[in-house]
Amino acid sequence: MSAPIPVTGAVIIRNGTVFAAQRGPGKALAGKWEFPGGKIEPGETPEVSLARELKEELLINATVGPHITTTEHTYGFGTIRLSTFRCALTGDQEPTLTEHADSRWVPIDELASLDWAPADVPAVDLIIKTYGSA
């Protein structure tokens, strides 16, 4: 069995909503929702990787904040080790999609209504529990 693939995900919270991105057609898990991010390259810290991925995928600059959780999920193509971090956009930027099919700002209490990629689900549950109104 090969080593888990280390990836990062950005939990961008703004005014009680969280930024969610939908995986594009032709990608693994197309149509599933995820926290934007990507693979950690050799020599990168998770935080540096996440800032780079956000700039590449969404054309935004973000401050990477505290670690939320790390989860593992095994898919047909391998095991993903997803580390999610609370992030904040710098300035008045809006994410611009370059790879994803869709995106939306989702109220925290409605996050569970999206069809999330399985690796993201534990973080979604934790965000609802930590930041939701319940």
9 token code pair? 């995900």
Nearest residue to 39 (alpha-carbon basis) of 119, 125, 124: 119
Q: Which pairs from 125-129 meet CB under 8 Å and 24+ separation?
A: 126/68, 126/69, 127/11, 127/13, 127/18, 127/68
User: Which residues lie below 8 Å from residue 47, measured CB to CB, with a gap of 6+?
Assistant: 64, 85
The arithmetic mean of pLDDT across residues 90-114, rounded, is: 95
Q: What pLDDT was estimated at residue 104?
A: 97
Average pLDDT, the chain: 95
Q: pTM of the prediction?
A: 0.94
Distance separating alpha carbons of residues 70 and 92, to the nearest angstrom: 29
Is residue 13 within 8 A of residue 35, CB to CB? The reply is no
Q: What pLDDT was estimated at residue 69?
A: 96
Q: How many CB atoms lie within 10 A of CB 114?
A: 17
pLDDT digits (tens, 9 = 90+) for 10-47: 999 999 999 999 999 988 899 999 999 999 999 999 99
